[in-house]
Amino acid sequence: MTLRVLLLAGAALLPLAASPALAAPTPETPAAEAPADQSTSVGTGQSDNDTIVVTARRRAETAQDVPLAISVVGGDHIDATGAFNVGRLQQLTPTLQFYSSNPRNTSVNIRGIGAPLGLTNDGIEQGVGIYVDDVFFARVASSTFDFLDVKQIEVLRGPQGTLYGKNTTAGAINITTRQPSFTPEGRFEISAGNLGFMQAKAAVSGPISDTLAVRLAASLTRRDGTIFNVTTNKWVNTQENLGLRGQLLWKPSSTFEVTLAGDFSHQNPLCCTQVYVRTGATQRPLARQYAALTAALGYAVPSTDPFDRLTDVDTPLRARNQVGGVSLRAKLDTGIGSITSVTAWRYWSWDPSNDRDFLGLPITAKSQNPSHQDQYSQELRLSGEKGRISYVLGAFGFYQKIQTNGVQQQGAAASRFLINPTNPLSNDPTVLDGLTANNDISFKNTSAAIFGKLTWKLADTFSLQPGFRLNYDKKEGDYNSVVTDGTGKLVRFKTAAEGGNSGRERAQLAVLSPQSFLATFSDWNFSGDVTLSWDPVRDVHFYATYAKSFKTGGINLNGVPADPAGVPLLELATIKPESVNHYEVGIKTQFLDRRATFNIAAFRTDIADYQAQVSNFTVGAIRGYLANAEKARSQGFEFDASFRPSERFNIYGSGAYTDAKFVKFTNAPCPPELSGGSQPVDANGNLTSPPSAPGTPGGVSPLACDISGSRLPGVSKWSFSYGFEGNVPVKAFGTEGQVYLGFDGNYRSDWSSNASPSAYTNVDGYALSNFRLGFRTEKGIDVYGWVRNAFDVQYFDQLAVASGNTGLIVGNLGDPRTFGGTVKLTF
């Protein structure tokens, strides 16, 4: 009902365009009027006439005046550095972390928090919101697509629930595309490089009439793979992306405008696989560890050096991914402020095929979860200013529906690999060959909120900015997994009255077990924040913020642990909300006639009931589920600086120190080196007696580790981005222009790539260096060559523990050195 009311109210804005009584000037400048592609805190420096305008607080203002931690990257800098998706964007913004083993299993974090590292669970929320032209993108898989016709990206750090429609506890990525123009313009770009890299981009805009303008944009990217599959004789982990976007602007008056936008993006790469990295000892008997199991099968990987970039996976790979939607954005300037309505529908469709044993053995023959999502959202927002008070007041409605129909099927080698060698059934391939779990998973998510932010200038140099959010969430999940053997016969738990399960059935149920349950979650939450800002002198801004926020609870939709009779432990089907207390202080400065900037912020975020990824380490199972760690926190500081001594040279740098850890997590999954034993242990391998899991039969403690005090996965303590660009005037081909040399680098220290810290999955730190050399003119011609990862650094994007607890560690490889050239024309 709330969503329906918001949709009707949004549509009601349209006839108001004809009402002159409501039309009045407003202090809010439309985002489309902000200077395009300006220098940024993570790009080049800025001059007095080169101001960065952002809309992070739902009104146009300079980045240096915004009392929050924000990094801004202009579209031209994105193009020049090759940061054409969120994965590449993290190289320019030190506190942004991006991890992806395939588009569905992708997570985006800020300051080490946001989403659990591991397999995606449809029943939970992301802690980092992704917005494109005010539209919330619920599926993080959208972050794997290429940016399309982007004007500017703002990365906001810290809770943003009092300013944005969907609540986000870690931050937001606010993407603004270039808008339709009544002045004809165009942008064309083509790039080519090694590994068969080809990328073409085009955008055109212009008037249709005095009140109508249109903008069309397209992008196409392809690249050969970086890993060679010796089984199929094909390169895998390729890139193949297509993006289309169209916008129609109707502006009948200076006080009213409506933008209708539609977009479609499609990926169909030969992807995604990980490679053998190493093996490590576990607590299992030696006969059940990787070396003995593969020796018994007479198998060896094509290379034990991951940077030989070889694999032999025997399941066909596919990562077909589509996302698209339509939005209607209406804006009306009135005497009380600017009213904005954003109505949107979006969809996401995912069709994968994975090899989840990561080997050239038919252990897991199929592992795929095709999924389709539809989402509907409506946001209404009023922003304005009266005297010393400015304000933002909004309402938001959201509905999401996800349907997943997955399958996991074991192969002919599964019995030997997954059944204890002491069991004679391990020598019978028919026990597990063809064993199949068909999963039918549905999810519905309804959310509604009202939110607001007030800025009260108590004095010319001092302001108080309180904000609030009232939020309602309801989630409904239906999980149903049916297991059949190779003959098509149902595999299920049998009661004692039925004679119980045979040894063959018990072996099958230990690998794949049927499960069915319904779960619901609903909750109201009130949260808020307050910021104090002080400008003691021109170009010096102090601010301090406290935020009480939350991340809504959710539903485990990857299955949950069960008792010995196979009955799901339904108390583990839902996850409690996170409770967040956030503190931040910062200072922003400009000096040397605004040719230099230096900003620094310190923060601390305390999270109770932190939503953490848990793996049950059932033999052969890759089921993961979520649980609440008692407490986690992230604290540290970050800075950014830039200096432009003249129009011929600029330099920038930014960095972050992030200390993120589990303050208390007493019932965590054990790392692989401590797994496979029979008793709970702490992170040092000492026996412990943690509390029994709710519903555990007989009060017996499950195998678990106390990892309190260990660091959160996925975050480096130190990370830096830095670069420069210099140019000299030249005349070439009869045209005045500049020859320029640019450098962009980034560094991140080591980090943990497992839910519980493990020596086997610690990713070493690395530094990447990118260069570009080119010639550009004031007429819009830009020709340059580039090299990325110039020193061919060998690094991992992610390490993971393979299923089955055999000690196998696999990894996602970072890109090798790539090079090529780009020609760009702008008019």
When pLDDT is cut at 50, 70 and 90, the band that residue 11 belongs to is very low
| 153-162 pLDDT tens trace | 999 999 998 9
Integer Cα distance of 328 and 248 in angstroms: 10
Question: What does the pLDDT read at residue 58?
Answer: 67
Integer Cα distance of 184 and 198 in angstroms: 27
Question: What does the pLDDT read at residue 609?
Answer: 95
Statement: residue 618 has pLDDT above 70: no
Per 3-state DSSP, the chain is made up of helix, strand and coil in percentages (nearest 5) of: 10, 55, 35
Statement: residue 561 has pLDDT above 90: no
Taking all residues of the chain, what is their mean pLDDT, rounded to a whole number?
Answer: 87
Who contacts 15 (Cβ-Cβ below 8 Å, separation ≥6)?
none
| 168-181 pLDDT tens trace | 899 999 999 999 99
Statement: residue 541 has pLDDT above 60: yes
* Strand blocks (E) in 113-149: 128-132, 135-137
Concatenate the DSSP letters of all residues of 213-249 into one string: EEEEEEEEEEE--SEEETTTTEEES-EEEEEEEEEEE
When pLDDT is cut at 50, 70 and 90, the band that residue 641 belongs to is very high
When pLDDT is cut at 50, 70 and 90, the band that residue 42 belongs to is very low
Statement: residue 619 has pLDDT above 70: no
Statement: residue 447 has pLDDT above 90: yes
Instruction: Give, as one character, the DSSP assignment of residue 306.
Output: G
29 versus 203: the higher-pLDDT residue is 203
Question: What mean pLDDT comes out for the span 330-335?
Answer: 95
Q: Which two tokens stand for residue 366?
A: 């199929």
Using CA atoms, how far residue 796 sits from 110, 722, 815, in Å, is 19, 21, 9
Integer Cα distance of 78 and 76 in angstroms: 5
**Does the N-terminal peptide bond of residue 272 adopt cis geometry, omega within 30 degrees of 0?**
yes
Question: What does the pLDDT read at residue 283?
Answer: 86
| 112-126 pLDDT tens trace | 998 887 667 888 888
Q: Are 340 and 134 in contact (CB under 8 A)?
A: yes
Integer Cα distance of 294 and 285 in angstroms: 14
Question: What mean pLDDT comes out for the span 207-236?
Answer: 97
Share of the chain above pLDDT 90, in %: 69
Question: What does the pLDDT read at residue 84?
Answer: 76
| 712-752 pLDDT tens trace | 999 999 999 999 999 999 987 788 999 999 999 999 999 99
260 versus 161: the higher-pLDDT residue is 260
Integer Cα distance of 331 and 384 in angstroms: 13
Who contacts 501 (Cβ-Cβ below 8 Å, separation ≥6)?
493, 494, 509
Lowest-pLDDT range of 52-61, 102-111, 114-123, 231-240? 52-61
Phi, psi of 504 (to 5 degrees): -65, -45
Q: Are 226 and 235 in contact (CB under 8 A)?
A: yes
Statement: residue 39 has pLDDT above 50: no
Question: What does the pLDDT read at residue 57?
Answer: 67
Q: Are 466 and 529 in contact (CB under 8 A)?
A: yes
Question: What does the pLDDT read at residue 735?
Answer: 86
Who contacts 8 (Cβ-Cβ below 8 Å, separation ≥6)?
none
When pLDDT is cut at 50, 70 and 90, the band that residue 483 belongs to is very high
Integer Cα distance of 722 and 748 in angstroms: 12
Pairing between β-strand 198-207 and β-strand 212-223 as defined by DSSP bridges: antiparallel
Question: What does the pLDDT read at residue 667?
Answer: 83
Question: What does the pLDDT read at residue 242?
Answer: 96
Q: In b/e form, how buried is each residue of 704-718, taking b as 16+ CB within 10 angstroms?
A: bbbbbebbbbbbbbe
Statement: residue 9 has pLDDT above 70: no
Report how many helices (DSSP H) and strands (DSSP E) the chain contains, helices first.
6, 44
Greatest Cα pair distance in the chain: 93
Statement: residue 823 has pLDDT above 80: yes
Statement: residue 473 has pLDDT above 60: yes
Question: What does the pLDDT read at residue 142?
Answer: 74
Q: Are 766 and 792 in contact (CB under 8 A)?
A: no
Q: Are 796 and 814 in contact (CB under 8 A)?
A: yes
| 370-403 pLDDT tens trace | 999 999 999 999 999 999 999 999 999 999 999 9
Question: What mean pLDDT comes out for the span 576-604?
Answer: 96
457 versus 701: the higher-pLDDT residue is 457
| 278-331 pLDDT tens trace | 999 988 889 989 999 999 999 999 999 999 999 999 999 999 999 999 999 999
Question: What does the pLDDT read at residue 615?
Answer: 55
CB atoms < 10 A from the CB of 424, how many?
Answer: 10
Count CA atoms within 13 Å of residue 634 on its CB side: 29
Statement: residue 183 has pLDDT above 80: yes
Q: Are 549 and 682 in contact (CB under 8 A)?
A: no
Question: What does the pLDDT read at residue 393?
Answer: 95
Indicate the burial class of 791 (C-beta count within 10 angstroms; 0-12, 13-18, 19 or more): exposed
Lowest-pLDDT range of 41-55, 303-317, 407-421? 41-55
Statement: residue 4 has pLDDT above 80: no
Question: What does the pLDDT read at residue 703?
Answer: 63
Statement: residue 678 has pLDDT above 60: no
CB atoms < 10 A from the CB of 489, how many?
Answer: 10
Integer Cα distance of 35 and 72 in angstroms: 13
Indicate the burial class of 291 (C-beta count within 10 angstroms; 0-12, 13-18, 19 or more): middle
715 versus 41: the higher-pLDDT residue is 715
Question: What does the pLDDT read at residue 743?
Answer: 97
Lowest-pLDDT range of 301-315, 679-693, 788-802? 679-693
Q: How open is the CA angle 367-369-372, to the nearest 5 degrees? A: 165
Question: What does the pLDDT read at residue 677?
Answer: 58
Statement: residue 36 has pLDDT above 50: no
When pLDDT is cut at 50, 70 and 90, the band that residue 31 belongs to is very low
Statement: residue 48 has pLDDT above 50: no
Statement: residue 32 has pLDDT above 60: no
Integer Cα distance of 825 and 827 in angstroms: 7
Statement: residue 264 has pLDDT above 70: yes
Question: What mean pLDDT comes out for the span 75-80?
Answer: 84
Question: What does the pLDDT read at residue 56?
Answer: 65
